Each structure stands twice: as structure tokens, then as C-alpha cells.
Amino acid sequence: MLPAGQRLRALREELGLTMRDVEAASERIAARHGNEDFALSLSRLSDIEAKGVLPNLYRLYSLSVIYRRDVREMLAWCGIDVNETAADLALVSPPKSHTTESLGNMLAVNVPVRMDPGFDTHRTVNLGRMIERWGLLPIACLSQFTHTKYTYGYIGSEDFTMYPLLLPGSFIQVDESANTVTQGSWRSEYERPIYFVETREGYSACWCALKGDLLILQPHPLSPAAVRMLKHPQEAEVLGRVVGIAMRLDDRRSSPAGEVTAGRQVTKVPPQLN
């Protein structure tokens, strides 16, 4: 990627503008706003183009107007990418509820544009491994998918392992740095960590416990799925802890009936749960 100064010079020459043309135009902009900070002298413009000096905000605005480019694009040339806003918002948590307009300025984000043809909505999967290609689309908030410590999972439409805590068809956010099973007691089922586990048969989101070299995959008590005990890590690997959930609460079809799966293992639903 070319430095900002070289890009600006190439853009100026592409538009057929001389450095004096830019200087004169910036002086008119400065006069209109009554602020000399908008003006670019010949020496300052030369420093920007040839020496890598970054323009201040006022001069950057003048250049964006003169060169007919979005100022946010020029900010990216200078190393400030507003498309990173969604990811950076997670770094600060104000104590009071609030509204935000910051995401509205995003130009584009990385989103999955090609999925693995083998993606089956009936099975629980690791979405990160199902995405074959990412692309730029003007959709806010999704850019963080490709840059953080998180991976994302999808609870298969036939996976009732954590029902009714996790409904089939839910999307989950998994913290891959928290891939060690913690032992202890919890005041409620909501405090007990849910882990995203990869087995030889597929994936499963469930409660976990370690007993020697066995990893116990424990479903919700109201689930029709059975407890499984697999050798760790040969037969089951903990990918991380579930830290976020996105699911619909009005889908009445998400209830166990007939045969259901725990990952890909099929179990029969007890009659009382039908």
C-alpha cells in the first residue's frame, strides 16, 4: 500500500491539478470558513507529498474537498481506519447506558461472502471454519468477526443439548482464550460456563467437567440429550467458552420433538418431553 503522501500526489496529478492550484483552492476554503488552518502552502503540500508529513484535520478536509474524495477514506490513508470502530468500541465500557452514533460513519466491514458448500444448518458448527472468503460490505458491527480472539458457532436446528438455555438456530460467540474447563459451584445455571467443544463427530455447546483424562459433556437437565464422556484431548477438544448469544425467542419450532442430536449423536426424546 502506498504511503498517504504518494497517494495524494498521484490523485492530484490524476485530476490535472498543480501544486499552485491546490494552494489557491485551499486558500479559498480557508477564507470561506474564516480559518487559516484550512490553507495549504506550497512548502506544506510538498512536505506532505514527498516527506510523509501528515496534514492536520483542517488541511485533510481541504484536500478531501479539492480531490473529491471522502475524508474517511483519506483518514484511512493516514492510518486511521473508521471501519475499526466496531471492534474498538469493545475496549471501553461506560458505566451508564447511552446511545451511540459512531457506527454510522463506517464505510465497509468484512463479512462472510462465501460459505463452505458443506454447511448444514441441522448440525452445530464452527462458523469460522465454514467461511471460505470474506468481503467488504457496508454493514456495521461485523468487522470484528475477523480480528479478535473470538470464533463464532452456530447451534444446529436439531441440536437440543442446552435446550432451553440455548435454542437451536442460535449464534454463539466463543472466547478461544478461555479453553480451560473451570471447576466449582455456581449459584445458578446462568453462572455456569458453557463451552464450545469439538469432537470426532462434530461440535457441541455444553457444560463441561474433567475427570482424569475424561471430558464430561453435560447437557441441560431439561434437554433430551445424553451425557457423554470422551477422552481429552484425543476425542474432544475445548475450543473456548461461550460468552455471547444471539437467538430468537419467538420461534416456537425450537422445541425438542422426535429425534434430536447432541452435536451429531442422535438420541431419543423421552415421552414426557414430547
Confidence band (pLDDT; 50, 70, 90) for 105?
A: low
Confidence band (pLDDT; 50, 70, 90) for 151?
A: confident
- Rounded CA separation 18/26 (Å): 13
Q: In this structure, what C-alpha cell is assigned to residue 202? A: 462434530
Per-residue pLDDT at 242 exceeds 90: yes
pLDDT value for 265: 38
Query: Containing H/E element for 12?
Result: helix 4-14
> Cα 255 from chain centroid?
29
Rg (the chain; Cα; Å): 27
Q: Across residues 179-204, what is the average pLDDT?
A: 92
Lowest mean pLDDT among 16-20, 34-38, 93-97, 139-143: 139-143
Per-residue pLDDT at 6 exceeds 50: yes
Phi, psi of 225 (to 5 degrees): -75, 155
CATH of 116-131+143-273, one of 2.70.70.10, 3.40.50.2000, 2.40.50.140, 2.10.109.10: 2.10.109.10
Per-residue pLDDT at 45 exceeds 60: yes
Confidence band (pLDDT; 50, 70, 90) for 107?
A: low
Identical fold for domains 4-80 and 116-131+143-273, yes or no, is: no
pLDDT value for 104: 54
- Give the residues across from 268 on adjacent strands: 259
Helix residue spans in 39-178 (DSSP H): 42-51, 57-66, 71-77, 85-89, 127-130
- Domain topology for 4-80: 434 Repressor (Amino-terminal Domain) (1.10.260)
Would you list the domain boundaries of the chain? 4-80, 116-131+143-273
pLDDT value for 108: 55
Lowest mean pLDDT among 7-11, 74-78, 270-274: 270-274
Q: Across residues 245-273, what is the average pLDDT?
A: 53
Query: Containing H/E element for 4?
Result: helix 4-14
pLDDT value for 131: 63
How far apart, in Å, are the Cα atoms of 101 and each of 89, 91, 140?
12, 17, 11
For the beta carbon of residue 68, count every other beta carbon within 10 angstroms.
8
Residue given cell 483424562 in the structure block: 213
Confidence band (pLDDT; 50, 70, 90) for 250?
A: low
Confidence band (pLDDT; 50, 70, 90) for 270?
A: very low
Query: Is the whole model's pTM more than 0.85, yes or no?
Result: no
The tally of CA atoms less than 13 A away on the side-chain side of residue 201 is 11
∠ Cα 183 216 267 (to 5°): 140
User: Please, what is the average pLDDT of the chain?
Assistant: 81
Helix (H, G, I), strand (E, B) or coil at 145: helix
